Structure 1
Amino acid sequence: MRFPACLATLLFAAGAASADIGQVIANHARPGYAAFVEAGRALDEAARADCAPAGLVAPFHAAQDAWMRVAHLRIGPSEDRGRALSIAFWPDPKESGRRTTAGLIAAENPVVHDPAAFTRISVAARGFPALERLIFADPPPSGDPAYLCDLTRALTGDLVLQAQALDEAWIGDFARLLTGAGQPGNQTYLSAAEARQALFTLLVAGLEMDADQRLGRPLGTIDRPRPEQAEARASHRSRRNLAVSLAGLRELMLALTAGHRVPHSSAALDRAIALAGAAGAPDMSDLATPEGWQRADTLRREIKAARAVIMAEIPPLLGVDLGFNATDGD
């Protein structure tokens, strides 16, 4: 994959002191967001050619795979204007997304014809969860077919806009903030160590999200499992989301520790990834059985173990402080 000349210049100017930061940008964030833009456009083009759900299944999965590889980059442009939430609002325990979507369809709200206005509707009614309700719902949503088509296209178009905004930020302004950490005028990152810590926080927080939310919510307890609370259950990709998320976190870890050996962290995370890819119900419905619950709980414990190993092995290499709450973000 070729990168713009301005990005190469930016990374060169960053110097050796922030080489690991440059690696995250060049080898993880940039290719990840570029792939997300490409997959989002393919989904949008498919919807504009024919918005029938059957033809959108494959491009939907490809686009969500691309997003899951970078979904953990909850920093800077991802947090700006709620972009990450507008792409994947989950968990949604009050089902506000479902209610808002139903309201749009019932009223045949013309907001679907105005891309700028559409960005101002509730984030719960945008992104992949909203598309999932239109493409995979069984039974399909009731409403005028023409309006359902317009809503689908509004959602895919909005997804492309958000993907492009993220991609552009990681080429330009936000990339300069990270690689220019400690330089005069940079009030966001006062040192390269501070920028590294922000990126390391994303790694740890991503593992917490996978263990405590993507697995913890549907796991519940062995006496009261809650498989119906799994992410992306209607599209049968609950387990797939988890596996792709872990793979993306591994990419982030290797980019952030480029030039260092992290054998214990790599081995621990690889064990979790292997377990995540093992046989199991795609929608985590097998959590309702004792055997399925135990398998998933073992995976949760492996992810938590990987997090503990990473917290022990990597911070001394990066010169970052352990005294922070990973869920705080930037």
Structure 2
Amino acid sequence: PSPGDAAAIYDKLANLCADQSRWADCTSYDAKAIAAKDSASRRVAHACVLLRLHQWDAAYAEIAKANKIDSTDNEMKKWLPQFERLEGFLPQIRALDAQIAKSPTDSALLLDRARLFTLAERPLLALDDCERAIKLQPASMRARIQTAEALFDVGRPDDAAKLQVSSNLARDKDSHVSDQALRELSNEDTQIAQNSGNAESLAARAKTLRDLRQIPLALADARAALAIDDKLAAAHLEAAHDLDALDQSKEALIHAVKATELNPNDGAAWYYRGVLEAGRADFPAAIESLTRSLKLGETLEALRKRENCQRRIGRIDNANADLKRIRELE
């Protein structure tokens, strides 16, 4: 075959290997295609495969050659900014490469590197590390959330759903799960792994998951905490939040009441109990709960809610008094 035809055959073989995630074979065929007929687009394709193999220097050498061959090539213009973005994270990535080489079964290191790939907008590289991490630590909620985030980023929401992570996953202004949430999950995972009977950590993880808008997972943790310690107020409060989010307000209120009984000095629990009572049109009970909350700590949210409840049952003077106080605080 002509050089062009030979290169095209190698291109197809490389693509087939890529579809099967056979990256070493893929880069070999890419190199043969380049040897047969060099082009900027083939160099770019080769560079991308070298990234999957974490051969950073070789990948950047290829992208430089591609740019030299034809800086106006469409693939070159598409990929050069992405390589430039990743380059800013490479010092940290290389440091983690060295640590992972020494401790290849350390899921935390893999997730740390996956996080860098996510921030660098290289979700396929992130997914590679996340999938390794979740195989090592299948109970890790941090691994589950990061894996799902990567799956969403590569357009595989159905696979994320198999992990019970919904597309409602909370993200920051840069469209990433927040560092704080991942730190919290990491700490909570560690505490739970060290002591599976740690109800407090399960309740704390439930809150983190609720903040990430993963309600079924949060409720599962809250219920697991209650199965260990049904006198844990924080777990009852988390269950209340989760059940309410799932439109199960009656059961949610039972848990909210229990939370205030177990910890009567928690103003947030009294506030949420009042919100649930108001939602069920029990305005006198809601006013009482909100008043308890306000005695423990004045908040605009509780004042506004109580004012509304007062008006709903015709206590206009009391409502106006709340409104006056609201305006003083605003």
Q: How high is the TM-score relative to the length of structure 2?
A: 0.32
Hey, which of these two has a bigger chunk of helix by percent? 2
Q: How high is the TM-score relative to the length of structure 1?
A: 0.32
